Structure 1
Amino acid sequence: FVLTSPCVPAEASDEQAKTVEFNVKPGGVVHTFSEGIYECSFTYASQGGTNEQWLMSVGLSDDNKMFSCSVWPQGKSYLFFTQFKAELKGTKIEYANAYSQAAAGGQSDVPLKPEEFTIGESTTHKDGKFSAQLSKLTVIGRTRHDEL
């Protein structure tokens, strides 16, 4: 599926948006993957299955005021995430949304409950509340270009 962020128009230039592939590795070990001008980093630990190919898409809005970062698997994820965290270096996260996969095939992803994750300096799982299912994570921050 294609994830479109509200602050990154589909017609954004190559300099404004890019998508890269990375491996999500199970085994319970903490890994971090980073990308982009404002350095979006996705830190996680997962269990089960084998390595999966995931995508990270980063982009700037046309006015350079908003920066977005999204991560999602290529296809269905079979991993159980024991933790996750997304951070935007050089910008403050103003919006985040996380999803788990729908139980039945063909349905769209289901938003995580607000009590499953927090939004602040970073977006992170909440211990004891997070269901270990993650299929998509989007964070959006305001760049510092608009400060007076």
Structure 2
Amino acid sequence: MELAGRALVVVILICAAGSSGAAAERSRTGEFDVRPGGLVHSHSETLGEHVCTFTYASQGGTNERWHMSVGISEDNKLFSCSVWRPQGKSYLFFTQFKAEVTNAKIAFANGFSQAAIDGRGDVPLKEDEYIIKENSVTHKDGSFKSELSKLLIVAHTRHDEL
């Protein structure tokens, strides 16, 4: 299975594990309000030595409830961070966004815009709408179309081999 496919499976498994009490130390989900008005806001979730921070500015509408999940794989080699609106479609226009991870190097990241017209899923952002660096995913000025409903990151942890 290619890295992107494995990464998505890891994110799904970590998010699903977040609902069981036994896996609580391996994942965490927090809620936050995405606020319009053009000001820059941030939300972070920490899991052990790893932190994911989502920084954004948006316009239009009213506050929206969003979630951020972070997780670590059982072998401690992958750290994931997912930011999304549970209702799917966001009515806000993002003028900027940046997601950063600490103590990990991004192996895979993908952003999604609104749900498809037929309602069968999210529409991936075009590759020219965002920039993936070693520790961050950022909107690309002039190309990002201001629509964001989900952001997924999977990163290799920086841990010492025994």
Q: TM-score w.r.t. structure 1 length?
A: 0.91
Provide the rounded CA distance (Å) in 2 between the counterparts of 1:48 and 1:139. 26
Unaligned runs of 5+ in 1: none
* Matched residue count: 145
Provide the rounded CA distance (Å) in 2 between the counterparts of 1:58 and 1:85. 16
Provide the rounded CA distance (Å) in 2 between the counterparts of 1:45 and 1:119. 19
Q: In the alignment, is residue 131 of structure 1 matched against residue 134 of structure 2? A: no
Of 130, 134, 157 in structure 2, the residue corresponding to residue 117 of structure 1 is 130
**Equivalent in the alignment of 2:9:** 6
**Equivalent in the alignment of 1:16:** 26
Of 67, 70, 89 in structure 1, the residue corresponding to residue 82 of structure 2 is 70
Higher share of residues assigned helix:
2
1:25-104 maps to which residues of 2 (within 5 A)? 25-37=35-47, 38-75=50-87, 76-102=89-115, 104=117
**Secondary structure of 1:70's aligned partner:** strand
CA contact (8 A) 1:7 1:67 kept: no
Q: TM-score w.r.t. structure 2 length?
A: 0.83
CA contact (8 A) 1:5 1:68 kept: no
Provide the rounded CA distance (Å) in 2 between the counterparts of 1:144 and 1:35. 18
Letter in 2 for 1:119: I
Provide the rounded CA distance (Å) in 2 between the counterparts of 1:102 and 1:141. 25
Provide the rounded CA distance (Å) in 2 between the counterparts of 1:138 and 1:11. 16
**Secondary structure of 1:15's aligned partner:** helix
Provide the rounded CA distance (Å) in 2 between the counterparts of 1:11 and 1:133. 29
Letter in 1 for 2:136: S
Provide the rounded CA distance (Å) in 2 between the counterparts of 1:45 and 1:136. 15
CA contact (8 A) 1:29 1:45 kept: yes
Moved over 3 A (4+): none
Query: Percent sequence identity over matched residues?
Result: 59
Letter in 1 for 2:121: S
CA contact (8 A) 1:68 1:139 kept: yes
* Aligned-pair Cα RMSD in Å: 1.8
Provide the rounded CA distance (Å) in 2 between the counterparts of 1:7 and 1:116. 24
Provide the rounded CA distance (Å) in 2 between the counterparts of 1:7 and 1:103. 24
Q: Deviations over 1:93-142 (max 9, x none)?
A: 12100000135252311000000001113100000000100010011111
